[in-house]
Structure 1
Amino acid sequence: MLAFLSAPLFGLLTGGDWNPADLSGADLWAIVTSLAGGAVAVTMIALIGTPLAFYLARTPGRISTIAEALVLIPMLMPTLALGILLATVFGPAAPAGEFFARIGLVLTNSPAAFVLAALYSALPTYVLTARSAFVEVPTEYERVARTLGDTQLRVFFRVTLPLAQRGLAAALALCWVRALGEFGVVLIIAYFPAGMPVQLWTDVQDLGIQAVFPLVATFLLATLPAPLWLGLRARRRPA
């Protein structure tokens, strides 16, 4: 099984030309699009997803169950289907798309559309992983802080967040991978400007697999190190 799982690494080491000088202008633009759009999306996800994850972790009941189901639905949808459905909502002929276009945000084939695709792709992953991190924080510490006079907001920032920081870091790392690696949704609503996944697909069609390894290497360097390090770090037992 380990040999089977190691097969991609063998392909990585024995593949085509890795010369960074072979990156084309389109490849470089795709790298910039993915890194910039991914950074904006992950920042927005952290800001809006963290309170939702905390709510799901601390508020049992029917409403939170419905909220969690709504978070799960985009994750469970086939990505091409999700992209098509988003196009019907945010496309130029849709009411929401027309509204955002009037205020200067075109949500198809634009940098804003890339961020939108990354949001829908990565937000559920972050929320569910962050929720698990908050669940692991003992509520007794929060109650003690409240009895000492701290407000709920102060307890969240001074007690809950520090205790959940390792799990939240892992959630952000996974979110980053999902935001940069999404292909199906991006293919439908944000084909231009092409990010790294779409550019890789285009290059494979035009040039073949052996010619795309410089962009593959950049893609892997942008996505693999943080989640791999955090995953290995999480295995360490506390002293």
Structure 2
Amino acid sequence: MARPLRSPWVSSGLTAVAVVLLLAPFVGLLVATHWADFHLAPGDGQAIAVSVGYSLVALVPIIGLGTPFAWWLARRDRRGKWLVDAILLMALLTPPLAMGLLLMSLFGPYAPVGATLQRIGLTLTNSPPAFVAAQFYAALPYYVIAARAAFESVPRELEQIALTLGHSPTRSFITVSLPLARLGLAAAVALAWVRALGEFGVVLIIAYYPQGIPVKLWVNLQDSGLDAVYPLLWVFFLVALPLPLTLGMLARRGRT
């Protein structure tokens, strides 16, 4: 009888260890921050506005394209689907710096595509569209994989019932698939948000300007040292956390 009681203690103990390990760097940040001289460096405010604003913009195509893409991966069994999976995994596994170089070779001012776009007035290097493009390529694979898992958790039988009741595939998707997958989709949006907001490598290569928070953290470190990094990092947490926390609470509230 005593044996089943051990499992909660073991899981609680391992959870505590994981939480302590995750919390340790932020305890270090708390101790290292000079609270008596807490202030943002010049340009930090603009970097915050750039990151938050363009991350919100990037979420639109990420969700708009990624949601049907994830549903297709979860529900369609067709020959060649493994190739689509491979492409998605390649995008996910490519190091951010390398992805930035690949995008530069495609959209740079001397690349064929980039030169063509420049002739019609669209510059995809060191510009707002370049910043959004960098966030899109960095976050889309994460969103698609998480959203795919959310759709795969929805029983297909419920979607089939909706179809037999006369619902169109689109209506079945909106009224059945999306509501049942909302908790996983909320997690996918949260993951895409923090991935886009915190992206450094891709942005560094193709959109150094306008500077967002990750690049500005690097600039502050190079110019003024660690003391100039900590205040902006605290603000980063303040602007990054509300959206995923709110999405999680709303999704769980709708589930109860």
Whether these two folds match at TM > 0.5 is yes
Distance 1:24 1:50, change over 3 A: same
The counterpart of 1:48, out of the listed 47, 65, 84, is 65
- Which residue is equivalent to 1:140? 157
Moved more, 208-217 or 222-231: 222-231
The counterpart of 1:191, out of the listed 191, 208, 213, is 208
**For the pair shown, which has the larger CA radius of gyration, 1 or 2?**
2
The counterpart of 1:156, out of the listed 154, 173, 180, is 173
- Please tell me the residue identity of whatever aligns with 1:143: Q
The counterpart of 2:221, out of the listed 204, 209, 232, is 204
Unaligned runs of 5+ in 2: 1-16
Deviation sequence 1:5-30 (CA, Å, 0-9, x none): 32112123212235797223411111
Distance 1:160 1:203, change over 3 A: same
- Please tell me the residue identity of whatever aligns with 2:241: L
Unaligned runs of 5+ in 1: none
For residues 20 and 120 of structure 1, what CA distance do their matches in structure 2 show?
38
- Which residue is equivalent to 1:81? 98
How far apart are 1:45 and its partner, in Å? 0.4
Deviation sequence 1:182-202 (CA, Å, 0-9, x none): 111111111011110000000
How far apart are 1:165 and its partner, in Å? 0.9
Deviation sequence 1:153-180 (CA, Å, 0-9, x none): 1101111111111111110000001101
For residues 167 and 103 of structure 1, what CA distance do their matches in structure 2 show?
40
Deviation sequence 1:22-56 (CA, Å, 0-9, x none): 22341111111101110111111000110100000
1:19/1:214 contact within 8 Å kept: no
Answering whether residue 46 of structure 2 is matched by residue 14 of structure 1, we say no
For residues 71 and 138 of structure 1, what CA distance do their matches in structure 2 show?
24
Q: How many residues align?
A: 238
* Counterpart mapping for 1:113-128 below 5 A: 113-128=130-145
For residues 20 and 26 of structure 1, what CA distance do their matches in structure 2 show?
17
The counterpart of 2:116, out of the listed 96, 99, 112, is 99
For residues 216 and 19 of structure 1, what CA distance do their matches in structure 2 show?
16
Instruction: Give 3-state SS (helix, strand or coil) of 1:105's partner.
Output: coil
Moved more, 7-16 or 176-185: 7-16
Deviation sequence 1:75-95 (CA, Å, 0-9, x none): 101111111111000000111
Instruction: Give 3-state SS (helix, strand or coil) of 1:143's partner.
Output: helix
Distance 1:234 1:154, change over 3 A: closer
- Which residue is equivalent to 1:27? 44
2:221/2:229 contact within 8 Å kept: yes
Moved more, 222-231 or 72-81: 222-231
The counterpart of 2:81, out of the listed 59, 64, 70, is 64
1:89/1:96 contact within 8 Å kept: yes
The counterpart of 1:167, out of the listed 171, 178, 184, is 184
1:191/1:198 contact within 8 Å kept: yes
Identity %, equivalent residues: 52
Answering whether residue 237 of structure 2 is matched by residue 216 of structure 1, we say no
- With normalisation by structure 1, the TM-score equals 0.92
- Please tell me the residue identity of whatever aligns with 1:216: L
For residues 68 and 225 of structure 1, what CA distance do their matches in structure 2 show?
32
How far apart are 1:235 and its partner, in Å? 9.6
Distance 1:141 1:167, change over 3 A: same
